[in-house]
Structures are given as structure tokens and as C-alpha cells.
Structure 1
Amino acid sequence: MFKLAALFFWFNIYCGYGVFATMNPFPSHPSNDSSKPKPVYTTTRLVGEKPKLDGVLNDACWNTGEWAGEFKQWIPAEGKQPSQSTFFKILYDDENLYVAVRAVDHEPKKIQRKAGRRDEFAGDVIGICFDSYHDHRTGFEFDVTAAGQKYDAILTNPMVGDANWNAVWYAKTAMEDSAWTTEMRIPLSQLRYSSEKNQVWGLHFWRWINRLQEESDWEQQSFTGPGMLYLFGELKGISNLPKSQRIELLVSGLSKMKTFQKDPNNIFASKGHVSSSTVGLDAKIGLSSNFTVDLSINPDFGQVEADPSVMNLTAFEPLFEEKRPFFLEGKNIFSFDIDDLSLFYSRRIGHAPSYMPGLGPNEYLKMPDNTTILSAAKLSGKTQKGLSVVVLQSLTANERASISTPSGGKKVTVEPLTNYFVGRMQQDYRNGNTVLGGIFTSTNRFFSDPHLNFINHNAFTGGLDLLHQWKDKEFFVDAKVTASNINGSTEAISDLQLSSARYFQRPDAYRFDSTLTQLSGIGGKIKIGKGSKGLWRYSTDLTFRSPTLELNDIGYMQTADLIKQGNAVSYFVNTPVAVFRTYTIGLKQNNNWDFKGHYLSSDYTLTTYLEFLNRWNVTSALNHISQSLDIRQLRGGEALLIPPSWMESILVKSDFAKKVAFNFQGSYFFENKRGKYFLVSPGITVQPINTLKLSLNLNYTSNMDQLQYTDAFFSSGKRAPVLARIDQHDLGATFRIDYNITNNLSLQYYGSPFASVGKFNSFKKVVQPKNSIYSNRFQALSTSVLQSDNYLVDDNGDGVTDIIIHNPDFNFYQFRSNFVFRYEYRPGSQLYFVWSNDRTNFINPGSNSVTDIHSQLSKVFPTNIFLVKLNYWFDL
């Protein structure tokens, strides 16, 4: 089971969202005991004709076998009887599983048959999930809405779903007088299981009634349990399956045209458009019933939806969501995260080229948008002894940019030929109570061009992880350790040392060494706590990252040089009480140091979650950070003493089962003497008919920061950072239209205008960054003289300009939109038509208002991408 409502509930429980109820804040509820006998369903082999897949349960085969029911409620009243009854039956043969479901509803006119696109929960839903490895760690889930739309996912504990796994299977729904029914045919080739003669699988069956936001399950699920898959029932009766021989091919054809403003002087833009076509092949080969190889040759990894607009004024790279199908499928298996760092960030593969050539007079550049992925391969599976293995290898091209000069053309390498490798293994012990794993990654670049010496040649990272649980998984120890080794030229390693992750040039930092040709570091985390049974959760943890740890060649890491100790406690309820369906409260506290032992800060967060009987909910977080020593604010300067701060965030959502639903998000940040920040973001979703959904979200932010970094200069042989007050205003909106004509035919539109305006004043240089008196840390600079967009500053009062500061005021305007037509003309085979539109305008210095977005964007010539893609799926 993986659905929005339950996922949101589970997330809040584990993160500690909630609040004390005014009446009986800590009611007593029985704890789940996962050692209790679990329900067993015994299937039978199909005899006679296969069912006609039309959703109507009148086939002769449904008169054989066992019907099962006796569901129990999970949400909102755990363990209670459901409001409606549900019955299911499972049959099988050598090729398929056949599932029939009758979802009884004594108010059939209230059944919500909302249309949605593939992998979207809309309206009433039923679902089945198979733990076919029977390792209590991986579930293959197949869900169907009352309108007949399919949803499939890979489920892992405690309740994490990878909805980007798309299997090829079949389902139809129908209506009876007082029920809705469904039939499914699930090919065994889409599952992974052992070669045992007599199979025993984990089984989960669930139903969601949307108008009541109620879930009931065949096996008793509990929020007091260690994770969903541990509580699955058992499926027995499958035996004597033939040896699996799976070969699936997906042939893709792609044609793309890009339009832009003509430039008769630029040979690369003289026509105002470019076009291309390509053919690719994806293959899935079953080596056995539990091991699979995925291959991709010349794949198209184009994204259907653009990344959100952002004006990034920090020194750190923003993290974007992965949207490419090859990397989405099975991404949870590769996961090795330690707080906000990851050893594998798949968007490194195929990223934009690293080198940007400089241009002379009358020279023009044709630059590839992304690095071409020549090939990619994955091997994944699990042995009968509990060893999970997944390996990914990908090769990206040697990318070259074309430069047109008055004397002719030339090619310049902007990204070298690169090989990426990721290997992940995990071994189960003691029926999954202990899991020991490891990961290894390598990034190897092949080049000899001197202008690419700033790029690392080779990067190797590795890690070990251990999860040990005891007392029926009530308590746990979760430990991870990682290490990295990077080698390259002295220029490349110097750049790493000077980067925002380290700033070794700081006078109070780790030692900078310009002669190094390699960098090695370590990191890790150990967490001990209580994770299940009862309504309380608590834990303590210790995290460390050495100053020389580096993961960004194939992973993601913003900062190194950190030691952090944290504690967390939370309490929740799993049945309605007073006016609440549920509520939760959590408190987290952290202390931070650098590797030299300097105390940096402490922070405290109180998080609350309230869900009312009318199914509205409120989420709140109150955060306090003590006076802190910021070792990165001055971007290579000394650590700066920062005043304490408070931040409050709130999120309100109405009942999303209604035709009109609202949400509101707000945040307010206040830092004594430094500044303030606030955000307001209202939204509305309207579904006037079952096939059409409209949504609009607005957001406005205002940021006044007295300590915005702008530049640095040298005064008396010492580096002097310059800060300023920034008044920044962001205004944006996101509008979506989803029109699902049928379950296999849909139209989607996404439009997002965005504007960001920043004005700078009150420039000051940092003179005593750690002075206990705030005003003594800075010296004001006079910026009364402005010439040619530069402030001329006389720092010492001798009448001579000592500092030149370029006016940093800016206007940033952007509009991005996507239109997608999708038609699944046969199972596994799709036709796409995509139109992407982009208008971007950046002005520096800028003097416009944030509300001038329409007039500014109307002056920008749009860039359009038109794409047609055809996939055809073969099952050999």
C-alpha cells in the first residue's frame, strides 16, 4: 500500500508532527505485536478458461478458489471494523496471477470514480502488494482506482513507495448494484521471486474509500509497527512454476525541434530553429526469476516537466528532483543517505557540460545542453540467502562545443568521456532483524586537454551500513560510514579545497595545500532509538563529516567539516480522540561543532500535526537557532558570529476528497538585528467533473537580510568581505490542468511564471567577525558615488577610490510551461507529444518591480521545444 493520505500520516509520525489534544492528550492504545499469527491466503491453480478481463465477475473460474474478506480498519480508527466490506480472490497459472475484487458499498452513488493519469491516486482505490522475495523488505504493488486507472509501485519499509516503477499488467473495473468490482491479470514476469518449488510470499490487500478517507486492510496494519512489510500476511499455494525466461524490449523513436530568436550574424542561430531525430533501445532481460538486467542504448532522457524556477543567492548548488525514467525505476535500492548528503545523485549522469569556452569579438558558440548518455546498464536481484545486489554502469560522451570565428570554425571539448559506476549490496540476517550493506561508486574521466584540468580525473566513494533491530523490532541501531578519495591535477584539488563545502582559505579552517593531487575524507552517522510498539518514538544520533570528505562527482553534498549530535522524541495517536482524527507532537534538538572543536550552534524544533474530524489538517513547526558561529557566511573569510533566530511555519489543507480543496502555507523568520523573511502561498484545486482537474498555487516571499554576502577585497593585505542589506521580493505561480479523457489518453498542462527582484544598500565590510557586540563586527562603507553601474568607495578617507563594487541590484523574470499529450495505445507502449516553452530575462543592475513580470517577459523571445516520442514494447 502506498497512497497520499497514509503516506502523509506516516511521514508526520516519523518526523514528529503533531500537537497535544486539549482533552486527554495521551490516551492509551494497544501496541501492535508483529509476532501475532498473520492471516494466510491459499491460492489455487486456474483450471479451464482464463477470465475475460472486463471487470465483471461472471467468469466460470471465479466460482473456484477461496474468497477472502474480514478486513480491519487502519485509517482513521486502527483496528476497528471498516464501514464497507471487501472481498478478493487470487488464482494463478504458469504465466499470470488473476485477481478478482468486490468492493461493497451500500451508498453506490457516493463511490468516487475520479479519472487520473497513470500512477495518480484519484477517488476510491483497491490494491494488492506481493512481497514475493518474502524478505519483508520489498513489495510489488498493483492498485486500481474505481475509474479503472492503474497505479504501481515498489514498496519498502517503513512506508516508502517508488511510484516510478511501471510494470506491464492489465486491469478493468465495473459496477454492480451495491459494489464496484475489478479484475486484474498480473504477469509473473513483472515480479521477482525465488526458484523454490513451493512459493510463500508476503501478501497485503487494501481498500481506500475516498469520501471517508478510510483505509481498511486484509492484514492488520498499524502505525505502532516497525514497518508495513513486516505486518504482511502470507500467500501460499503457488507451486511448480516454470523457469523464468523474461526478455522485454522497448524501442523508442524521437523527433525534436527547438525554436529560438534568429540572429543573421550567428551561423548557429541564422534559421531560428534546429531539429534532430534519434532511435533508442531499452531491454529488460530476466537472468532468473530473481535477477534482472536492464540495458539502454542511446536512450532519450529528456524531461517532460522543467525544473522549478529559483533565484539562488547562496554559495550552494540547489538539489533538483530526478524525473528520467531509467534512473527513477529502482532508485530506492541505490539509496545511501546521511542526513542531507547522498552517495548517489543520479542527475550527475548526463549533467550540463562543466566547461564554458570564452568568446572573442564576433565569435559565436553552439553549446550542448546536457552530456550525452551513450549507454546505461543495471543488474538487480536478490539471492535465496538474502543477498540483494544492484549494479549500475553508464558511459557519457566526450562533448564538444562548436565556435564560429571570423576566420572559420573550431571545436572545443567541454566535457570529457566519463564512466560512472554504482554498486550496492545488502545482506539480511535473523529474518531481517539485521541488515548489513555496502556501496561503492566510481567516476572516471578520460581527458588530456589542459583547459579541463579543473575537473577531477577519478573519484571513488564507498560506504557501509548496518541496521540492527531487537525486541520484536521495537529498538534499533542504524549506523552508516562513508569514505571518499578524489584525484586530479593540483588545480582540481585546489578548487575542491576552496569550494563552498570547505573554504580551506579561511584563516581558522583546515590547512590549505596547493600541492595536493588527491583528497580523502570520511563521514558517518550512528542513530539509536525506539522505533515501534507504542505511541512514543525517541532517538539520539551522532553525525560526522571530515573537512576533506567529497561526494559531488556522483553524489550530493553541500558541506563538510561537521560534527552534529541530535535528540528527538515524538508522540502520536492512531485512533480518533475528541475533535481529532489524529494528532502528533515532536521535539528535536541538535548541537553542532566543526572538526577543530569550535562550537557552532544549537537548534530546537517543535513540530505539530492536527487532523480534524472534518478531514482538514494543520501542520506547524517552530524552530529556534541559538547565537551561532557561521563558518561559511563570509565565503572564505573567518567565521562570523550570527544573532539567534526564530522561524514559524504553518501548512493548512482542506479535505482533498471534495471537488474544491484549499491549501495555505506560510512562514515567518526573524533574526535579531539581522533581518526577517516571510512567505505566503495559497492554493486551490478544483475538479468540476471526474475527468478534469485544475489547480493553482501562488507564492510570495519577502526577504530582508542585513548580512547578504556581495564581494570581498584586500585591505592592508587582509581579505575583507563586503556584506549588504538585501530587500528581495519573489512572486510566482503554478497552474496545472489535468484532463484524463480515458485511462490511456490524457492531456496535461503546466505553467509557471516567476519573478525575483533584489535591491542592495547599507554596504559594510567585516572587521571583527567574532566581536560580541554586533555593531563592532562591521564598518559601514559609503556608496554615495555611482559611476557606470559601479560604486566607488573611499575606504580610508584620503579622497582616493579604494574599493569598486559592481551594483548587484537584479531583476530575474522567467516563465516555463509544458503541454503533454500521452496515449498508451497498447500496454507498455506510448505516444507522447510535448511542447515546452521558456522565457527568461535577467537584468543586472535592475530597477524594475517584481510586479513588472508581464511587461518584462513580453519583451523576451521565447524558446520552444516540440517533441514527438513513440515507444513500442515487446515481450519475447
Structure 2
Amino acid sequence: MLPQASGFVNQWGELTGLRGVKPPLRLSLTPYVSSYVNHYPFNEQGKQNTSTSFNGGADVKWGINESFTLDATLVPDFGQVQSDNQVLNLSPFEVQYNENRGFFTEGTELFNKGGLFYSRRVGATPIGFGTVTSQARPGTTDGDGRHPGEFVAENPGITRLLNATKVSGRTSKGLGIGVFNALSNDVYATVQDSATGARRQVLTQPFSNYNIVVLDQSLKNNSYVSLINTNVTRAGSTYDANVTGGLFRLANARNSYALSGRVVYSNRRGKAFGSEQEITDRDGYKYYLSYGKISGNFTWSVDHGIESSTYNPNDLGILFNNNNISQSVNANYNIYKPFWKVNNLRTYGSISYSLLQMPTRYQDVGLYLGGNTTFTKNFLTTGVNLSFIPVTHDFFDPRRFPLGKYYVRKPANTGLSGFVSSDYRKKFAYDISGGVRLFAPDGARTGRTSMSLTLSPRYRASNQLSFVYALSAERNRNQIGYAGGLNGSQPLDAPLQSAFGQDVLLGRRHVTTITNTATAIYTFTNRMSFNIRVRHYVSNVHYRDFSRLHPDGLETPVDYQRNRDNTFNAFNVDAVYSWWFAPGSQVSVVWKNASASYFEANAATPLYFENLSNTINTPHNNSVSVKVLYYLDYLALRPRRG
């Protein structure tokens, strides 16, 4: 294979001359049972600290023919997957989490084309999760005194799936077909009357159907055309969502130049959940075009794209911000053969430019350069990245809609980062990465910097035992950002509104984040293993001063006395024992320990070990689960013919 050529499968050889091969029936059933014991120290009258649950379901795999396979999971249980890496989110956008559920990571290549499928939407947090508190009846005061109201007793954070099914494959003519469908049941929160103890349920997620259909036609020269449709249908008057996209890639006969692109239309119909107001972003569009040289030592591309102000694929996909016009020029020069003291050399350069789509206003420009190489003698890999970004206008951080009037002005800045990674074949190996970003003075504000460092040694004690540790530290000094809400979604809080009306409050802050992660893996035999992962994350925010944001990025200082400092801690332990007692059959015992604490004002502290102590001493949720799944193969079960 030629590394300078575009693509891998298109360079493989062809096997010919096979005839009369009849594939056997591919049919298997994998039922499971699981049991959970959860303990959380509520220590409240009428609330049990310990709860138990028992679950059962099955996975089905059926080879429809030699090309197509059906996978289905019935009443799935994903409670044993690795815990998410929770973080403090100061941005206006959601946090994207990794997919750890096996059903959504295996055989989903067709569905992930075009970036319209974010599998974490299926079984995600209910869409009405954050509205329950506002639906609880408040307390009242009359001549007889104060009468307490309702409080939220239970509010499930995940949507339990009833089933999920996917069918995928490719015909002899090169047509790839994929169909995905999943169903989730109603989800209810429970609110309780403080005086009488009476409980009532509040719907947070209606019965929902998630569907994806993909048609992908392979063409000559590693080219293709694709059609993708995603659809979310919800019961009741809550809005439904539909997204349809067309993708293509057309390469020349030598596979040296290619034109690629996509056109996507999003459609949402109905009322916002828990509201009588119609959805405002009903129709939106996106298009993207890219052309360039794709093979050889020197490659380049130019691209251009638009996402309209009403484009929204986020019911089943993920998009951090729409209302964007972007274009870039990219170039790469790679040397694939060893020379001097290195095995290879990869370099890149890029210039990007973006505008707000409506109204059309400047956002940012960026220049990016970098490269990496692997040395011949010790297989040490190292790389460096350099970037220069002139003044940026951030229209999204103020959280004021419609966009275009308010923006946070970020001064010109230069960034330098790099990494070193040693040879993983040795018993001891390490990864080191770090970077610094320096900002130009902005009026009277100086000294704005951003620094990061990650150290990750790993040690393989034996063929059975290995350890991996990672320490990550990040420090942002004099960062300017929205101070009206600290989780990226809340509106200005009541005290802020009374002091400043609907104006946007910005804060100059120091943000320090430290993450420690340790993993140990012990393999008893080729059928039995144990691994444990411990993670502690702490992020501290200290505000120096505040300003009022005016149109066109202008700021004026304000005498805002409220202490808005905060510290967020997250602690997780995932311990997993697995025993594959038969082919495809497994017993897994999992212990999970989780705690998250959020301290505000005077309770916030920048001291790491004090935060660690606070985290250890806060209530933890402990869960122990046992799951047994047994693999039943039709070919192994059917009677053998003599």
C-alpha cells in the first residue's frame, strides 16, 4: 500500500475464482439478566438510602444474507458502561461525551456518515429534565402562617430505551443500505408535597421514536453519493424533528483530485416541550463544498460552507453553533520514507475565515501551522503546533438572541503547543503535551494567558498487569466571559436581573482546572480480567472584576459586589471484573462510586487537596451490579446430521 495515496480499501487486492460458497445461517440470541444495588446517603425521613433493581433483556443478531445483518437489543441495560467525564462548562455550548455503549459503537459506520448522528441523543437526558423545579407548586403565606409547597423527590437523568434495531450492509452493486430505529418510553419525575407527603408525576420525556435511513452508493475511483434521513417523532404535542442530507465525493481516475460536499435540510414542527409556543427554528439548511489534491506528498484543499441561523440537527445529531459562514485553505506536505534520523515527516498549514450568517458580520480569522515526526532510533514521536488568531468577535458567549448585536471581543493571540510520545512497545512509556497562548493587551487589560500541561506515564509490569496515569492541568488568567450563568444554559439569575435588568454581565476571571486519572488492568487469563479507573476533576473559577456588555463589544466597568466564585469537583471510580465463561458469554461485576459537588462564593477554594478532601467527604453514590449474558448460536444448537 502507498501511504501517499488517498484511501486504503481501494488499494487492496481482489480475490477471484471462488464459486459455490453458501454462507451458513447467521443467527444468535444473547439474553441477559442484571441486578443492581444502589446506595446514596440521603438520610432523610421517608427516603431509603438503599435501592435495588432487576433487569432482563436480550440482543439478537441475524445474518439476513451474505451482505446484510440485523442487530437488535431488547430492553437494553447500559448501566455498567464507563462513567462520563464530567466537567465544569462555562461555554454557551453543550458538552459532547464519548459513546461507551457497545451497541452504538459497533457496525455504525454507515450511520455516522455526514456527522448527522450523535448516538448519545438516544437514551439521553429527558428534554424536560431541567423544567421540573419550575413545575413544582411554591409555598404560600396567609393569615395562618407559611404553608410549604412541593419539592422534586425524583428526577431520572436518563431515558430508558425499550429497544433499538439496526440493519446494514452493501449489495453486490455497491449500494450500502442502513436502517436504524429505537424506541424510548415515557419518563416521569416525581414531586412531593412538603406538608402532606402527597406525590404526583410530571412528564419529562414523552414516548419517542428515533429513526435513521442511509443510502450510500459507491462509485468508481473511491467516489460515492449518499442520502441520509434522521427523524425523531415524539408522542403528544411536543415538536418532531426531521433532517435530510445529501453527500457526495467525486474523484478523478487517478484518485489524485476530488470534489466533495453536502447539502442538509433541517425541519422541526410542533410546540416546544412544556410550552404553548411553536418552535421558532422550523426550517434550516447547511451546505459545504471542498475541492483539492488528495494524493501525493503535497496535498491541498479549499472549502466553503454555510449553516443558516435556523439550521438545527441536534435532536439526533450534534452542532455546537449554527448561523455561520466559513471558508479555509489547507495544505499538507508529508514525507513517508525514512530520511536523516526520522521515519517520516508530516506538516500542515491552514488559514480559516468565518462570518456570522445573519446578519453577515465578521467573527474570526486564524492561521495554523504545525507538524510531527517519528525518530528512527528510539521511535519517539514529537510534534509542534503554532497558531495566530487576530481579534475575534464571539457572538455566542453573551447568550443574547437574535445574534448580531452583542459580542465579546477577544484580543489577538498567539498559541504554541507540542507533544512527545515515547515507544509504546517498551515496558515504560510516556506522553507529554503542553501549550501556551498569549493575548495582546486589550485597553487597560493585560496579562491574559492560557497554559496547559498533560503528563501521562504508563507501565507494563508484566503481560498480565499494566498501569496508566494521566495528570492534566490548565490555567486561564484574566479570561473574559459571560458571568450571568455558570453552566452554559441558565438565564441571568434573579439578583442579577434586578441589578442590571436584561443586560449582559461579563467577568474577568482566573480558571484553574486539574484532572487526575489512574487506570490499572490485570488479566488473570485469556477469559478473565479486572480493571479499575479512578478520576478526580476539579475546576476553580475566581472572578477579579465585572463589566456591563454593550452592543458592538463595548464594555463599561460595574461595581458588582456579589461573589460569583465557584468550584466544581467530580469523582468517579469504575471497577470491572469480567469472566468470559463460554464463547460470547460473560459475567461482569461492576462497582461504581460517583460524587459531584458544586461550591459557590465563600465555599469555593482553589486549593487542590482541600477540594479533594471536600469531595471525599461529600455523599457518594455507590452501585454494585452483576450482569450475566449467555450467547446462543443457532449453528451450535441445531441437531447435527449424520
Instruction: Specify if TM > 0.5.
Output: yes
CA pair 493-549 structure 1, distance change in 2 beyond 3 A: farther
TM superposition shift of 1:515: 6.7
Q: Corresponding residue for 2:141?
A: none
Query: Contact between 1:244 and 1:288, CA under 8 Å: does it hold in 2?
Result: no
Q: Deviation per CA, 1:663-704: give whole Å up to 9, x if none.
A: 111021222236211111111101121111111111111112
TM superposition shift of 1:584: 1.5
Q: Corresponding residue for 1:230?
A: 10
Q: Which among 564, 577, 591 is matched to residue 326 of structure 2?
A: 564
Query: Contact between 1:734 and 1:753, CA under 8 Å: does it hold in 2?
Result: yes
CA pair 600-273 structure 1, distance change in 2 beyond 3 A: same
Query: Contact between 1:523 and 1:544, CA under 8 Å: does it hold in 2?
Result: yes
Q: Corresponding residue for 2:292?
A: 529
Q: Corresponding residue for 1:638?
A: 406
Query: Contact between 2:80 and 2:590, CA under 8 Å: does it hold in 1?
Result: no
Q: Secondary structure at the match of 1:840?
A: strand
Q: Corresponding residue for 2:113?
A: 336
Q: Deviation per CA, 1:522-573: give whole Å up to 9, x if none.
A: 00211111111x2111111111101110011111011111111111111111
Query: Contact between 1:831 and 1:868, CA under 8 Å: does it hold in 2?
Result: yes
Q: Corresponding residue for 1:619?
A: 383
For 2:273 and 2:589, the matched residues in 1 are separated by: 45
CA pair 474-813 structure 1, distance change in 2 beyond 3 A: same
Q: Which among 616, 622, 629 is matched to residue 858 of structure 1?
A: 616
Q: Corresponding residue for 2:201?
A: 411
CA pair 368-706 structure 1, distance change in 2 beyond 3 A: closer
Pairing 1:648-727 to 2, within 5 Å after superposition: 648-673=416-441, 675-711=448-484, 719-727=502-510
Q: Which among 95, 113, 130 is matched to residue 318 of structure 1?
A: 95
Q: Corresponding residue for 1:295?
A: 72
1:827 paired to 2:583: yes
TM superposition shift of 1:397: 0.5
For 2:89 and 2:281, the matched residues in 1 are separated by: 30
Q: Secondary structure at the match of 1:235?
A: coil
TM superposition shift of 1:379: 1.3
Q: Which amino acid in the other structure matches residue 605 of structure 2? A: N
Q: Corresponding residue for 1:108?
A: none
Q: Corresponding residue for 1:577?
A: 339
CA pair 242-491 structure 1, distance change in 2 beyond 3 A: closer
Q: Corresponding residue for 2:250?
A: 468
Pairing 1:77-92 to 2, within 5 Å after superposition: none
Q: Deviation per CA, 1:582-625: give whole Å up to 9, x if none.
A: 11111011111122332222101101102112111112111111
Q: Which among 570, 573, 581 is matched to residue 814 of structure 1?
A: 570
TM superposition shift of 1:427: 0.9
Query: Contact between 2:239 and 2:273, CA under 8 Å: does it hold in 1?
Result: no
For 2:68 and 2:347, the matched residues in 1 are separated by: 43
Q: Corresponding residue for 1:607?
A: 370
CA pair 518-812 structure 1, distance change in 2 beyond 3 A: closer
CA pair 609-656 structure 1, distance change in 2 beyond 3 A: same
TM superposition shift of 1:317: 0.2
For 2:396 and 2:440, the matched residues in 1 are separated by: 19
TM superposition shift of 1:874: 1.1
TM superposition shift of 1:492: 8.0
For 2:203 and 2:551, the matched residues in 1 are separated by: 45
For 2:498 and 2:201, the matched residues in 1 are separated by: 42
For 1:281 and 1:716, the matched residues in 2 are separated by: 57
Q: Deviation per CA, 1:392-439: give whole Å up to 9, x if none.
A: 011101011223323322222111110110011111233x54311110
Q: Corresponding residue for 1:757?
A: 540
TM superposition shift of 1:863: 0.7
1:590 paired to 2:380: no
Which stretch has the larger CA shift, 356-365 or 280-289? Answer: 356-365
Q: Deviation per CA, 1:839-861: give whole Å up to 9, x if none.
A: 22211123322311232123212
Query: Contact between 1:418 and 1:444, CA under 8 Å: does it hold in 2?
Result: yes
Alignment gaps of 5+ in structure 2: 139-147, 443-447, 485-491, 635-642
Q: Secondary structure at the match of 2:630?
A: strand
For 1:296 and 1:598, the matched residues in 2 are separated by: 48
Query: Contact between 2:406 and 2:549, CA under 8 Å: does it hold in 1?
Result: no
Pairing 1:51-90 to 2, within 5 Å after superposition: none
For 2:174 and 2:551, the matched residues in 1 are separated by: 59
Q: How large is the Cα RMSD of the aligned pairs?
A: 2.1
TM superposition shift of 1:244: 4.0
1:848 paired to 2:589: no
CA pair 584-493 structure 1, distance change in 2 beyond 3 A: farther
Pairing 1:37-436 to 2, within 5 Å after superposition: 221-242=1-22, 244-265=24-45, 267=46, 269-270=47-48, 272-337=49-114, 342-356=115-129, 357-358=132-133, 359=136, 361=148, 363-405=151-193, 406-407=195-196, 408-430=198-220, 432-436=221-225
Between the two proteins, the alignment pairs up a number of residues equal to: 594
Q: Secondary structure at the match of 2:319?
A: coil
For 1:491 and 1:409, the matched residues in 2 are separated by: 22
For 2:453 and 2:374, the matched residues in 1 are separated by: 21
CA pair 606-492 structure 1, distance change in 2 beyond 3 A: farther
TM superposition shift of 1:739: 0.7
For 1:825 and 1:446, the matched residues in 2 are separated by: 43
Q: Which amino acid in the other structure matches residue 617 of structure 2? A: K
Q: Which amino acid in the other structure matches residue 95 of structure 2? A: P
For 1:547 and 1:329, the matched residues in 2 are separated by: 34
For 2:540 and 2:483, the matched residues in 1 are separated by: 15
Q: Which amino acid in the other structure matches residue 604 of structure 1? A: L
Q: Which amino acid in the other structure matches residue 429 of structure 1? A: L
Query: Contact between 1:660 and 1:684, CA under 8 Å: does it hold in 2?
Result: yes
For 1:764 and 1:639, the matched residues in 2 are separated by: 13
TM superposition shift of 1:706: 4.0
CA pair 715-566 structure 1, distance change in 2 beyond 3 A: farther
> Among the aligned pairs, what percent are the same residue?
24
Q: Deviation per CA, 1:764-804: give whole Å up to 9, x if none.
A: 1123534xxxxxx3211124xxxxxxx3xxxxxxxxxxxxx
Query: Contact between 1:488 and 1:518, CA under 8 Å: does it hold in 2?
Result: no
Query: Contact between 1:304 and 1:820, CA under 8 Å: does it hold in 2?
Result: no
Query: Contact between 2:74 and 2:162, CA under 8 Å: does it hold in 1?
Result: yes
For 1:716 and 1:857, the matched residues in 2 are separated by: 34
Q: Which amino acid in the other structure matches residue 815 of structure 1? A: F
Q: Secondary structure at the match of 1:234?
A: coil
For 1:728 and 1:243, the matched residues in 2 are separated by: 59
Q: Deviation per CA, 1:275-327: give whole Å up to 9, x if none.
A: 11111111111221111222221111234211113111111001111111111
Q: Corresponding residue for 1:128?
A: none
Q: Secondary structure at the match of 2:96?
A: coil
For 1:671 and 1:282, the matched residues in 2 are separated by: 54
CA pair 714-826 structure 1, distance change in 2 beyond 3 A: closer
Q: Deviation per CA, 1:734-781: give whole Å up to 9, x if none.
A: 1010111222211101001111111112111123534xxxxxx32111
TM-score by length of 1: 0.65
TM superposition shift of 1:872: 0.7
TM superposition shift of 1:237: 4.3
Q: Corresponding residue for 1:443?
A: 232
For 1:427 and 1:839, the matched residues in 2 are separated by: 48
Q: Deviation per CA, 1:632-660: give whole Å up to 9, x if none.
A: 23221513433111112211111111111
Q: Corresponding residue for 1:481?
A: 263
For 1:741 and 1:566, the matched residues in 2 are separated by: 51
Query: Contact between 2:326 and 2:355, CA under 8 Å: does it hold in 1?
Result: yes
Q: Corresponding residue for 2:144?
A: none
